[in-house]
């Protein structure tokens, strides 16, 4: 047990020496106090120094995509910098989801909180657990609209298209509107 703790501390020290890389995360909630769920997740990302220099989009209300018989979502995008590897960033995001009471349901169904890694610098990552850029990015206005608000010029690999260009060509027809007073 002590060895495991030392190994984890060693990994954290190595990551703290790593170069900061820009990241983009999508947050969504359609159960409970939706706006508060997203705000709490952002606070945990920041306080835990998982993401630094955070910039937060406005909050948006969006119709559900995939399975429509559920409440509308509140969505936001955060960009910032991390020293974590993409895999460890994913683990931290999953811990935050658990901490905030996420229950696992079938794909496309309700979420107390959902945190997805959309972009990790200009990296392309394809593992069993992680796909970056997020494979549905180009088809989701609820991601592209808030992302365009704060990072419209971010180029998405493997294309050289920007977030703004992807939004222009997005086939998603669901309604996404800014939440006034958020």
**pLDDT-based confidence at 6, cuts 50/70/90?**
very low
Distance CA 83, CA 2 (A): 25
For residue range 10-61, what is the model confidence (pLDDT) as tens digits?
Answer: 555 554 467 999 999 999 999 999 999 999 999 999 998 999 999 999 999 9
Distance CA 163, CA 152 (A): 5
Count CB atoms within 10 A of the CB of residue 19: 7
The per-residue pLDDT for 83 is: 97
Distance CA 151, CA 178 (A): 16
The per-residue pLDDT for 13 is: 53
Mean pLDDT calculated for residue range 112-140: 94
If you write DSSP's letter for every residue of the chain in order, what string do you get? Answer: -HHHHHHHHHHHHHHHHSPPEEEEEEEEE-SSSHHHHHHHHHHHHHHTTSSEEEEEPPPEEE--SS--SSPPEEEEEEEEEE-S-HHHHHHHHHHHHHHTTPPP-STTS--S-EEEEEEETT--EE-SS-EES-TTGGG-HHHHHHHHHHHTTPBPSSS--BHHHHHHT----S-EEEPTT-
Asked whether the beta carbons of 102 and 114 are under 8 A apart, the reply is: yes
**pLDDT-based confidence at 67, cuts 50/70/90?**
low
Beta bridge partners of 80: 23
User: Where in the sequence numbering do the catalytic residues fall?
Assistant: 102, 111, 114, 116
Closest by CA position to 56, among listed 77, 26, 75: 77
Domain ranges of the chain: 18-178
The per-residue pLDDT for 69 is: 76
For residue range 71-100, what is the model confidence (pLDDT) as tens digits?
Answer: 899 999 999 999 999 999 999 999 999 999
Residues 6+ apart with CB under 8 A from 123: 21, 86, 132, 157
18-178 in CATH: which number?
3.30.70.560
Say what angle helices 34-47 and 86-99 make with each other, to 10 degrees: 130
Does residue 4 have a pLDDT over 50?
Answer: no
pTM for the model: 0.87
């Amino acid at each position: 047990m002590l060895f495991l703790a030392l190994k984890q501390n060693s990994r954290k020290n190595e990551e703290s020496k790593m170069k900061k890389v820009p990241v983009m995360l999508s947050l969504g909630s359609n159960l409970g106090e939706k706006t508060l769920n997203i705000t709490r997740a952002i606070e945990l990302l920041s306080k835990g120094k998982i993401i630094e220099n955070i910039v937060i989009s406005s909050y948006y209300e969006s119709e559900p995509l995939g399975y429509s018989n559920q409440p509308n979502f509140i969505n936001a995008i955060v960009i910032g910098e991390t020293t974590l590897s993409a895999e460890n960033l994913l683990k931290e995001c999953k811990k935050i989801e658990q901490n905030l009471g996420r229950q696992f349901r079938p794909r496309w169904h309700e979420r107390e909180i959902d945190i997805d890694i959309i972009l990790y610098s200009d990296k392309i990552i394809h593992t069993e657990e992680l796909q970056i850029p997020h494979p549905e990015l180009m088809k989701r206005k609820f991601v592209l609209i808030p992302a365009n608000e704060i990072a419209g010029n971010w180029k998405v690999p493997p294309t050289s298209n920007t977030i703004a260009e992807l939004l222009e060509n997005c086939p998603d027809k669901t309604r996404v509107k800014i939440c006034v007073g958020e």
